[in-house]
């Protein structure tokens, strides 16, 4: 929208623009306490700003799974707590939701719950599921079945554009990597302590190196885990978004497109 002759044209920081938009909605509705924004109003605002409908659908899908822009200190040191992949759908939103349920339940042996636009799959712990996971591990196809929780969210807008976001929680794997790194660091410090007692206090100068080794081990272990899970997350997102006709969930997951990213 072009600025009028008497209107000042200037750039806003994103956070300021968001706050102004929220405040304008509250004023327009005549209630300063109103915090909500309808989907129709959101789409209209995005359209006025020139945002493509597919981008709105992708953002809605991410919001459904709980993806945020915040990063915690541990993520900067060791790595992400989740792996996320987003796709624009080539099937209607309702079909994408059905595909998500089928893929997570049958394709990845997860216990599926959820309603509406969100499908949640949690790791099964019954003997039958453990046996099937072991068999798939031998084939190298059990990445998501071992994940604590996988969320698939579908977002759609008025013109029918839909998108799916797959969010795999790897926080428990990260905890395991931190424990492994801590053990390496503790062993290094123990060795330095023994050396200091036998040789002299100058050996204590090596303590930071031992701690750094522990951090490096934790980061590498978690990076390897994220890399394996990212491939499976991408394949799941591709299948949910594309609606592979006539294919079983396992066959649908056979396409490899490593384009996932760590949750922010």
Paired tokens of 205: 């100068």
Per-residue pLDDT averaged across 23-29, rounded?
A: 61
pLDDT of 129: 79
Burial class of residue 177 (count of CB atoms within 10 Å of its CB; 0-12, 13-18, 19+)? buried
Does the pLDDT of residue 246 top 60, yes or no? Answer: no
Q: pLDDT band for position 113 (50/70/90)?
A: very high
Q: Is 109 left (phi over 0), alpha (psi -120 to 50) or beta?
A: left
Does the pLDDT of residue 56 top 80, yes or no? Answer: yes
Q: pLDDT band for position 226 (50/70/90)?
A: confident
Does the pLDDT of residue 30 top 50, yes or no? Answer: yes
Q: What is the 3-state secondary structure (H, E, C) of 123-190?
A: ECCCHHHHHHHHHHHHHCCCCHHHCCEEEEEEEECCCCCEEEEEEEECHHHHHHHHHHHHHHHHHHHH
Per-residue pLDDT averaged across 173-185, rounded?
A: 78
Q: Which residues of 145-158 are buried (b: 16+ CB within 10 A; e: fewer)?
A: bbbebbbbbbbbbe
- Angle, CA of 138, 141 and 142, to the nearest 5°: 90
Does the pLDDT of residue 55 top 50, yes or no? Answer: yes
Q: pLDDT band for position 253 (50/70/90)?
A: very low
- Domain 62-171+229-262 part of CATH 3.30.310: yes
Does the pLDDT of residue 195 top 90, yes or no? Answer: no
Per-residue pLDDT averaged across 244-257, rounded?
A: 40
Does the pLDDT of residue 3 top 70, yes or no? Answer: no
Paired tokens of 161: 């554009």
pLDDT of 242: 82
Q: pLDDT band for position 257 (50/70/90)?
A: very low
Per-residue pLDDT averaged across 126-140, rounded?
A: 78
pLDDT of 26: 61
Per-residue pLDDT averaged across 156-161, rounded?
A: 88
Residues 258, 142, 120, 105, CA torsion sign? positive
pLDDT of 252: 40
Contact (CB, 8 A) for 164 and 240 = yes
In whole angstroms, what is the distance from residue 194 CA to residue 207 CA? 12
- What are the residue ranges spanned by the domains of the chain? 62-171+229-262, 174-214
Q: How far is CA 139 from CA 58, 82, 134, 135, 255, in A?
A: 33, 24, 9, 7, 16
* Strand partners of residue 177: none
In whole angstroms, what is the distance from residue 257 CA to residue 164 CA? 15
The per-residue pLDDT of the chain, averaged, comes to 76
Does the pLDDT of residue 6 top 70, yes or no? Answer: no
pLDDT of 18: 64
Q: pLDDT band for position 4 (50/70/90)?
A: very low
């Amino acid at each position: 929208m072009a600025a009028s002759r008497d209107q000042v044209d200037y750039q806003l920081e994103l956070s300021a623009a968001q706050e102004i938009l929220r405040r304008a909605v509250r004023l327009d509705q005549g209630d300063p306490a109103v915090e909500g924004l309808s989907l129709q109003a959101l789409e209209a605002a995005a359209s006025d700003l020139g945002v493509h409908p597919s981008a709105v659908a992708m953002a809605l899908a991410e919001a459904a799974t709980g993806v945020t822009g915040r990063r915690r200190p541990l993520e900067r040191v060791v790595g992400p707590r989740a792996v996320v992949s987003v796709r624009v759908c080539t099937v209607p939103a309702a079909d994408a939701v059905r595909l998500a349920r089928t893929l997570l339940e049958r394709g990845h042996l997860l216990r599926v719950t959820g309603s509406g636009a969100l499908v949640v799959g949690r790791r099964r712990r019954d003997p039958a599921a453990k046996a099937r996971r072991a068999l798939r591990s031998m084939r190298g196809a059990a990445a998501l079945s071992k994940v604590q929780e996988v969320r698939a969210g579908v977002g759609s807008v008025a013109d029918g554009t839909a998108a799916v976001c797959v969010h795999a929680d790897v926080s428990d794997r990260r905890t395991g990597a931190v424990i492994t790194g801590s053990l390496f660091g503790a062993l290094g410090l123990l060795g330095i302590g023994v050396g200091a007692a036998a040789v002299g206090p100058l050996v204590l100068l090596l303590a930071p190196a031992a701690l750094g080794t522990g951090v490096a081990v934790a980061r590498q272990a978690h990076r390897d885990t994220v890399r394996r899970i990212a491939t499976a997350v991408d394949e799941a997102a591709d299948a949910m978004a594309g609606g592979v006709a006539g294919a079983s969930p396992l066959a649908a997951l056979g396409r490899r497109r490593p384009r996932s990213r760590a949750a922010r």
